A and B are shown apart, each in its own frame.
Chain A
């Protein structure tokens, strides 16, 4: 699993519900990121973090929040789920620039 654990593997939400996708790494790497993968659109960066306490927005941050209180964990929060957030979500880690990424197994989210 490239040292990245994602939970849950599958999730179904109703519109308006909130939830947190969990991501944890056991390599003590500084850099972590969240992507969503949609057919025909590749992977799009949602949020990333270069270290504990530091986060920044990626290409598609709207509707998602992140925090990085520890090096190990980088949860992704959906505040009010929408059908447009139906996707496969990948978390990744990297130890230093230029950030060769190691991806987790993904979370498949369906919002109805």
Chain B
């Protein structure tokens, strides 16, 4: 069965710091990978996705993620965070089933 691990539960950064959030998945076949973001008091929205092709994908608001198949990873990065990036970030994976499975999330706090 597919599963997702997000190792960073809570990350605290200052504005302009670089960000990398870890995501590892467990599934042996072809995967589709997603990062979703939930801003305080709001519902989830898609940040970026990987289906196939270039393993470096770019999303909204300057975020990017790299799919490394050999490491079963899909880490999220941003060179310089802003206070408005304070949110909870969820990695998700879909394999050959029709189930989209989420990780437990990483809470990011950015201080001015």
Contacts and interface: CB of A to CB of B under 8 A. Distances in A.
Interface residues of A, number: 27
Contacts of B45: 2, 103
A103 B9 contact: no
Contacts of B103: 42
Given A101-B46, A103-B44, A59 B101 contact: yes
Contacts of A2: 43, 45
Interface in B41-75: 43-46, 49, 51
Contact of A45 (B100, B104, B105): B100
B94 A99 contact: yes
Contacts of A103: 43-45
A90 B44 contact: yes
A75 interface: no
Contacts, number: 59
Contacts of A97: 32, 94, 98
A43 interface: yes
B25 interface: no
B2 to A, nearest CB: 10
Contact of B49 (A43, A90, A100, A102): A100
Contacts of A1: 43
B32 A48 contact: no
Contact of B98 (A41, A48, A100, A104): A48
